[in-house]
Amino acid sequence: MHTADVVLIGGGIVGSSIAYHLVAAGCKNVLVIERETAQGKGSTGKSMGGVRAQFSTPVNIQMSLYSIPFYASFEERLGHPCDYRPQGYLFCATTEKHMAYLRANYEKQIAMGLKNVRLVAGDEIRSMFPLLRGDDIVGGSFCSTDGFVDPYSAMIGFMTWASDHGATLWKNAGVNAITCKGGGYEIATTRGTVCTRTVVNCAGAWAAPIAKMVGIDLPVEPLRRMLVPTEPFDLFPHTAPMIIDMSSGFHFRPEGRGFLLAWNDPEETPGYKTDFEAGFIEKILTRAADRVPVFENVAVNPKRAWAGLYEMTPDHHPILGESPEVPGFFFANGFSGHGVMHSPATGKILSDLILTGKTDLIDASLLNFSRFADGRMIHETAVL
C-alpha cells in the first residue's frame, strides 16, 4: 500500500500551492490526489484570475498582502510564469454610501500596510476613462498592485515545482472513502489506497462531500458564476484595470484582444450547475452597455462563454486549519470566489499549521472551523 506524510485531496490551485509550500518547507513525501485526467478542470480553470488586496476585513487583506507580492515574484521563485499583470482594480462608487464603504475599507487597508491603494475623485475617473459613463460616479478607489494572473499557469507552476522536488501527483484518481485507522487514515481512490496521518481537503466546490466521508458537515456550497469573453475589441484601452461598477456589480477586464465580462446574477441559487445559460448574455450586455456605451456594439460568441463554481461559506471567508473533531484532517476550503488570489497565502498557512501547529501570517483562529459553532463569523462584504 502507498503511504505519504501528507495527502492533499484535489489538484486545483489550492492543493498545488499547499504542495509547493510543504515541499519548500522540507516535507517532501506529499501526495496530491486529483480525480480528473488533468488539473484545472474544477474552478481554477474557470476563474477570472483577478487578484486584489482591496478587501474589507483585515484577515482577507493580510492574505492578499502575502499573495500579491508572491505572484509578483512567482517566476523568480518557481521558474514558471504566472502572468501577473498589475493593472489594478478600480471600484467606481455611484452613491455616497458606496463611497463611505470604500473610504472605510481604504482606512483598514492602509492601516494593514497596503501601499498602493488610493481614493479617487469622480472627475479623476472621468478623465482616466472618458469612455465610462461617468455622470453618476461620485468617486472610487484604485490599487495599482491589484490586477490579474493566469490561474492555470500558476497552478501548473506550483505543482511542477512541487513534483520536481519530491511531491507526487495522482491524476485520474477519485477519492471514494476515507477510513480512520490506528490514529491515521486510509484513503480509498480509484487508483488504489493510500495511508497517511495528515489529510487536507482541497476539493474546492466539492469540499462538503469529502468532509462528509469523515462525518463532518462542512458549510461550503457550490454557486454558479458565468463569464462572457468578447471578441477582439479595441475601442476601450487594454491597459485598463479591473473596473467594478458598484451600482450593478458589473465588472470587466481586458483579456487577450478583447474583454472578459462578469456579473453575478443575484437570482442564482446554490447547486452543482456548470452549464452556461444563453439568456445570461443579454443580461450582462445590458449592464455592460449601461456603464461602457461603446460596449453596445461589442461582439460576443456564446460558445466561448463559460460557467464555473464558487465555493461559498456563510461568512464568505475560507475555512482553514485542522478539524477540531477529526485530528489530522485539515481544511483549505470555502474561498467564496477568492481562491486563486489567496492560494499563495493558503499554501503558506496550511504548510505552517501542518508542520509546526502555528502560523505568523494571520491569526489562524479567525478562519478555523469552530468559528461557526462559536458564533464568531466575520463577514466580508467586498465579494464580487
The C-alpha atoms of residue 381 and residue 199 are separated, in whole angstroms, by 31
Selected range binding ligand FAD among 97-105, 201-209, 288-296, 367-375, rule: CB under 6 A:
201-209
- 310 in contact with ligand FAD (CB under 6 A): yes
Supply the DSSP symbol for 272: -
The C-alpha atoms of residue 148 and residue 157 are separated, in whole angstroms, by 16
Selected range binding ligand FAD among 81-89, 96-104, 118-126, 332-340, rule: CB under 6 A:
332-340
Binds ligand FAD by CB under 6 A, chosen from 134, 140, 308, 328:
308
User: Contact 84/143 with Cβ under 8 angstroms?
Assistant: no
Cell of 271: 447547486
- 204 in contact with ligand FAD (CB under 6 A): yes
- 338 in contact with ligand FAD (CB under 6 A): yes
Binding to ligand FAD in span 110-169, by CB under 6 A? none
The C-alpha atoms of residue 126 and residue 45 are separated, in whole angstroms, by 34
Cell of 370: 469552530
- 220 in contact with ligand FAD (CB under 6 A): no
Binds ligand FAD by CB under 6 A, chosen from 4, 6, 13, 350:
13
User: Contact 22/354 with Cβ under 8 angstroms?
Assistant: yes
Selected range binding ligand FAD among 96-104, 202-210, 282-290, 367-375, rule: CB under 6 A:
202-210
Binds ligand FAD by CB under 6 A, chosen from 88, 138, 178, 225:
225
Q: How far is the CB of 170 from ligand FAD (least distance, A)?
A: 9
Binds ligand FAD by CB under 6 A, chosen from 4, 20, 32, 42:
42
Q: Residue 23 or 33: which CB sits closer to ligand FAD?
A: 33
Q: Could you tell me what percentage of the chain is helix, strand and coil, using 3-state DSSP and rounding each to the nearest 5?
A: 35, 25, 40
- What stretches of the chain show up as alpha helix (H) in DSSP? 13-24, 58-72, 74-78, 96-111, 122-128, 151-164, 207-212, 279-291, 343-356, 370-374
For residue 382, which of 319, 334, 337, 332 has the smallest C-alpha distance? 337
Q: Residue 120 or 187: which CB sits closer to ligand FAD?
A: 187
- 47 in contact with ligand FAD (CB under 6 A): yes
- 11 in contact with ligand FAD (CB under 6 A): yes
For residue 139, which of 187, 102, 89 has the smallest C-alpha distance? 102
- 12 in contact with ligand FAD (CB under 6 A): yes
Q: Residue 138 or 167: which CB sits closer to ligand FAD?
A: 167
- 316 in contact with ligand FAD (CB under 6 A): no
Q: Residue 134 or 308: which CB sits closer to ligand FAD?
A: 308
Size of residue set near ligand FAD by CB under 6 A = 40
Burial of 49 (0-12, 13-18, 19+ CB in 10 A): buried
Cell of 174: 477519485
Selected range binding ligand FAD among 46-54, 92-100, 124-132, 347-355, rule: CB under 6 A:
46-54
Q: How far is CA 202 from CA 149, 152, 311, in A?
A: 20, 16, 11
User: Contact 254/278 with Cβ under 8 angstroms?
Assistant: no
Binding to ligand FAD in span 176-195, by CB under 6 A? none
- Work out the number of other CB atoms within 10 angstroms of the CB of residue 180: 14
Q: How far is the CB of 13 from ligand FAD (least distance, A)?
A: 5
Mark 254-293 with x for binding to ligand FAD (rule: CB under 6 A) and - for no binding.
Answer: ----------------------------------------
- Contacts with ligand FAD by CB under 6 A lie at 9-15, 33-36, 41-44, 46-50, 174-175, 202-206, 210, 225, 227, 308-311, 335, 337-341
